[in-house]
Amino acid sequence: MKKVLTKRFGFAAFRPFQEAVCEAVVAGQDTLLVMPTGAGKSLCYQLPGIARGGTTLVISPLIALIEDQVEKLAAMGFRAERIHSGLTREHSREVCRRYLAGDLDFLFIAPERLAVAGFPEFLARRPLALIAVDEAHCISHWGHDFRPEYRLLGERLPILRPAPIIAMTATATTLVQEDIVQQLALRDPQRFIHGFRRTNIGIEIVQVQPTARNELVVDLLTDPARRPAIVYCPTRAKTDELGRLLAANLPAAAYHAGMPPKDRDEVQTAFLGGRLQVIVATIAFGMGVDKADVRTVIHTAMPSSLEGYYQEVGRAGRDGKPSRAILLHSYADRHLQKFFLEKAYPEVGVLKDLYLELGPQPEPRELLQERFGKPEDEFQAALEKLWIHGGAGVSSDDLVTRGHDRWQASYVMQKKYRAEQLELVFGFAEGNQCRMGALVRHFGDKSDDGHPCGLCDCCAPGEVVAGRFRAPDAKETSVMLEVLEKLKLRNGATTGQLFTDCAEGRRLDRNQFEKLLDAMVRGGLISLLDDSFVREGHTIRFRRAELESQGRHAGAAIVGSLELSSLGDGAAKPVKATKARASVSRRSRAAKEEAAPEAPPAAEKPTKTKARGRKAAVQPDQPLDQDEQLFEKLRAWRLAEAKRRHIPPFQVLTDRTLRDLATARPSSLEDLLQVSGIGPSKAQKYGDKVLQVIAEN
Ligand code: ADP
Ligand code: MG
């Protein structure tokens, strides 16, 4: 293996864990490999593929990723090819011929290719050396990046056996890992879950109310030693806002999926080249971006999953030098995240109602929607979830049928799981143990010894850079003293109860109260313990406060000398006022995006629940207006596209997006990206064709 590594791949040595993984795969073991981005997972299928001889089939979710890998392998002198919808028939035919002739080392396909009738049987005509499934977490609806096409793998891979399977991902919780193993039917797999500890990133988590965050970010990044930096914001509007603010002081710019691709590329290039020192981005930024010297990663709001958060934090300090990751959040972030969750996962009752509307006879989705009578977003979310869990079938010509009746348990479990993931994020942020240790445990890295990192705000409170502190005032001191008194009577009271008892009547909000508790923990007077109970199948998490011995004897002098976080003190009013003014002048689109997270898609602001019914509410015998005509044309195109790809039409583009397209009539790729529901990947897949349909009508 060492010889293959140096001679054929040109690497001097294996990276950590690569050799052990390669050994298992060369020996024909099914393998699950979970290592962070950049760890070198590709080599773990490439080298064994070459060593075993014959063709390795690689399944990868994106054409761009496939093209990139094929190019790299070809440059190293391997015989690598691919079959996907972006290539000509002649090309595919030639690749098939070479495959049958045993003339390929690597054949790349996207998972949906396995849905093409006869294709798996064609592949089965020759034994494969190895099957590699990249981004394997996409198979699991427990994960944060579920792709329905991946579900085909479980069904179609068995005829390609007995070749061993290696499943690779950078981001899988233990439950997702289990799901991958089950769905791919891996046989007694070797599991390698490694390398999640980063020893040069100090994580710092700060409670600060939303209105004070921008100012703090500017303040932090004014120090050149903290740059280059990536700042993650939850929405496009917030990204633009903070981007402008920073750009007034520093070489900084915004980056998000709503910007024209040209501008985005420019920003990215400038950042990679060092001309821009700060990039303010939604989570759309960073995929495949490798900039070694990022000193600081800041999150200006609570992330929605620890997996995503870890990926983003991991972009700091790739060069191994000391770096910091700073997360700003407050109690208020809970509400927004919960709102997004409810939006994406409707009440089970809504799904039940929809399920009962379905029959064994295929019915056009539109008729169903009209009959169902709920707002479009809600209908769409409910149908999609039913479909994922098998309660509805949606054919590629957009006909809906009733599916099996076992969808409910699995949907309820998924929704509960998402809520729990969210709780894990809150628990992580509000916890008071080593941050890096908590992340490493989350990924189930068993080879890690769990030692404290020595860098984070829990391990090294003295090193904190984002915290700002002040002495408590008289009211705060008396509230803290009261908390201590309450705990002396009833040690282990919940923080919610303490808030009600000690703070509520005294014009102290929950945020301020949490700051007091935080100061008392740092001062060693109390400790906070996470606890939970189960009610109606839901895990409810809460926290208890317990007295430390110092707290038992602390009086006004000690409590008065505690350091309270001063972040956000008094900032609320002025910032709010300017924000309100600004938003009046902004168009409704910006207002919509204000609360819409970059991903998962299709979330909307609470106040904007106006259901945009189809314009076809006009009399049926009136001629269709122009938008409506274009909408119908787009629908016809979508139907053809869905059939070609063997997916339900709403997976191509939703009705809402088609309608927005028909109204906005974009004429360039840049305009296209302004339409909600169209991000870079949809634009890449369908952009040209959509623009063509619009231009022709
Ligand atoms: P992952 O898929 O885990 O994110 P990749 O497989 O794309 O990571 O590898 C990241 C980079 O590391 C690639 O540029 C690859 O060429 C390089 N790399 C992988 N293994 C080695 C090695 N043993 N020695 C040097 N470079 C390596
Ligand atoms: Mg990879």
Residue 252 beta carbon below 6 angstroms from any ligand 1 atom: no
Q: What is the pLDDT of residues 405-420, one digit of tens each?
A: 999 998 998 898 888 8
Tell whether ligand 1 has an atom less than 6 A from the beta carbon of residue 40: yes
Question: What tens digit of pLDDT does each residue of 164-192 get?
Answer: 999 999 888 888 999 999 999 999 999 99
Q: Flag the least confident range among 91-95, 310-314, 609-613, 636-640.
A: 609-613
Contact 209, 510 (CB under 8 A): no
Q: Cα of 256 to ligand 2 centre, how many Å?
A: 23
Q: Which ligand is located closest to the Cα atom of residue 44?
A: 1
Where does the pLDDT of residue 624 fall: very low under 50, low under 70, confident under 90, or very high at 90 and above? low
DSSP 149: G
42 lines ligand 1 (CB under 6 A): yes
Instruction: Count CA within 13 A, CB hemisphere, residue 87.
Output: 20
What is the Cα–Cα distance from 66 to 54, expressed in whole angstroms?
19
- CB of 47 closer than 6 A to ligand 1? no
What pLDDT score was predicted for residue 571? 44
pLDDT average, residue stretch 255-275: 89
The Cα–Cα gap between 695 and 669 comes to 12
**Hey, which bits of 526-644 come out as E strands?**
526-535, 538-547, 564-565
Q: Which pLDDT does position 502 carry in this prediction? A: 93
**HSE, side-chain direction, 13 A CA sphere, residue 604:** 18
Residue 248 is predicted with a pLDDT of 94
The reported pLDDT for the residue numbered 615 is 31
Higher-scoring residue by pLDDT: 280, 580? 280
CA 395 – CA 647 distance, rounded (Å)? 7
- Pick the range with the lowest mean pLDDT from 33-37, 318-322, 340-344, 617-621: 617-621
Distances (CA, A) of 193 to 151, 168, 254, 313: 23, 10, 35, 19
Pairing of strands 31-34, 165-169: parallel
Q: Which helix (H) or strand (E) holds 82?
A: strand 80-83
Residue nearest to atom 9 of ligand 1 (CA): 40
Q: How many CB atoms are closer than 10 A to CB 532? A: 14
Residue 39 alpha carbon, nearest atom of ligand 1: 3
Residue of 453, 206, 198, 454 whose CA lies nearest to 326:
206
**For residues 490 and 494, what is the distance between their CA atoms, to the nearest angstrom?**
10
Instruction: Please report which confidence band the pLDDT of residue 605 belongs to, taking 50, 70 and 90 as the band edges.
Output: very low
Which phi and psi (to 5°) does residue 402 adopt?
A: -75, 140
Ligand 1 atom 18 nearest Cα: 40
Closest-lying ligand to the alpha carbon of 73? 1
Per the prediction, the chain carries an average pLDDT of 85
Q: Which two tokens stand for residue 506?
A: 């005294």
Whether ligand 1 lies within 6 angstroms of the CB of 524 is answered as no
Q: Tell me if 78 CB under 6 Å of ligand 1.
A: no
| Mean pLDDT to the nearest integer, 153-173 | 93
**Amino acid identity, position 301:** A
DSSP three-state, residue 261: helix
| pLDDT level of residue 587 (50, 70, 90 thresholds) | very low
Q: Please tell me the predicted confidence (pLDDT) of residue 591.
A: 36
User: How many other CB atoms are found less than 10 A from the CB of residue 120?
Assistant: 18
Quote the ligand 2 centre to 584 CA distance (angstroms).
Answer: 44
pLDDT in the model for residue 125: 96
Nearest CA to ligand 1 atom 2: 41
Q: Which atom of ligand 1 is nearest to the CA of 13?
A: 23
For residue 313, give both structure tokens. 């934090």
Residue nearest to atom 17 of ligand 1 (CA): 40
Ligand nearest to the CA of 17: 1
pLDDT band at residue 91, thresholds of 50, 70 and 90? very high
| C-alpha dihedral sign at 436, 441, 447, 451 | positive
DSSP assignment letter at 502: I
d(CA 236, CA 303): 15
96-133: pLDDT as tens digits: 999 999 999 999 999 999 988 899 999 999 999 999 99
Beta carbons of 482 and 222 less than 8 angstroms apart: no
Smallest CA separation from ligand 1 atom 25, residue = 11
Q: Whose CA is nearest to atom 13 of ligand 1?
A: 40
CA nearest neighbour of 394 among 636, 145, 151, 643: 643
Band of pLDDT at residue 70, cut at 50, 70 and 90: very high
Substitution candidate for ligand 1 out of 15, 134, 290 with most atoms within 8 A of CB:
15
C-alpha pair distances (Å), 435 with each of 425, 440, 516, 535: 12, 9, 21, 29
- For the chain, counts of helices (H) and of strands (E): 30, 20
Say whether pLDDT at 588 is over 60.
no
CA 295 – ligand 2 centroid, Å:
24
Q: Is 15 in the pocket of ligand 1 (CB under 6 A)?
A: yes
With a 6 Å cutoff on the Cβ, whether 39 touches ligand 1 is: yes
Residue 514 scores a pLDDT above 60: yes
In this prediction the pTM is 0.69
User: Is the preceding omega at residue 251 within 30 degrees of 0, hence cis?
Assistant: no
Q: What's the CA-to-centroid distance between 293 and ligand 1, angstroms?
A: 18
Which is the closest atom of ligand 1 to the Cα of 15? 23
Q: Which domains does the chain have, with CATH numbers?
A: 2-193 (3.40.50.300), 469-565 (1.10.10.10), 618-697 (1.10.150.80)
Give the residue, by CA position, lying nearest to ligand 1 atom 27: 40
For a substitution probing ligand 1, which of 42, 72, 194, 315 has the most ligand atoms within 8 Å of its CB? 42
Q: What is the mean pLDDT of residues 40-58?
A: 97
Question: For residue 79, what pLDDT is reported?
Answer: 98
465 pLDDT higher than 50: yes
Assess contact for 133 and 44: CB atoms under 8 A. Answer: no
Average pLDDT for 158-165: 96
Q: What is the pLDDT of residue 524?
A: 84
Q: How far is the CA of 53 from the centre of ligand 1 (A)?
A: 21
pLDDT in the model for residue 483: 96
